[in-house]
Amino acid sequence: MYADNQETQKEIVKIMKKDLILCGVGGQGILSIATIIGEAATKAGLYLKQAEVHGMSQRGGDVQSNLRLSTSEIYSDLIPKGKCDVIISMEPMESLRYLPYLNKDGWIVTSNKPVVNIPNYPDETALNQELESLPHVAKLDIDTIAKEVGMPKTANMVLLGLAAPYIEILSIEQLREAIKTVFARKGEDIVNINLKAFDAGVANEQK
């Protein structure tokens, strides 16, 4: 019985702490994803640390942020190698860039459409094969789904919806409420289109 209790406690600790890497290229809306997760975490009373986002000055350049959520105090805003729980990526090559940070049970949640922003960008087929060879990957054509929803710029919300079940420490409904708060100043129509995109991402993950 004692051993069973120990295992239960370990699982609780695992669920109550999540280290996320958000990545992509400039202009894809990585900051909006971080803002929504941060808003949901704050409302939920979680501890939150976010590392500096890099590459913002160059549209099309790489952008990355460490986001750490926990029910207990966090002492560093940087995720050590091998400790990330989920890589949430707007661009497939960028997801692989941070693979050394992913833990053995961690997930990559990514767009499957490359943004070819460098001359020596890898072959798309080879890139997808490398992703498919990994044990825990969820990938989706988020751009097409965003267009179907009615606003191409909501591809980041489709990705957040796809990633939502893997974040675990926050519920899907908590993230939906955070979307409402973050986009409220832009009006009801913008709130609703972003919620629709988020829900489309969630629905695709559940298929």
pLDDT computed for residue 172 by the predictor: 97
Question: Tens of pLDDT along 79-126?
Answer: 999 999 999 999 999 999 999 999 999 999 999 999 887 888 888 888
pLDDT computed for residue 25 by the predictor: 87
Per-residue DSSP letter, 16: T
What is the chain's mean pLDDT, rounded?
89
Residue 59 reports pLDDT greater than 70: no
Span 134-143, average pLDDT: 96
Query: What is the topology classification, in CATH, of domain 18-116+125-205?
Result: Pyruvate-ferredoxin Oxidoreductase; domain 3 (3.40.920)
Span 1-27, average pLDDT: 68
pLDDT computed for residue 13 by the predictor: 46
Give CA–CA dist 203/27, Å, rounded: 25
Q: Where are the domains of the chain?
A: 18-116+125-205
Question: Tens of pLDDT along 15-53?
Answer: 589 999 999 988 889 999 999 999 999 999 999 999 866
Nearest-CA neighbor of 111 among 144, 67, 82? Answer: 144
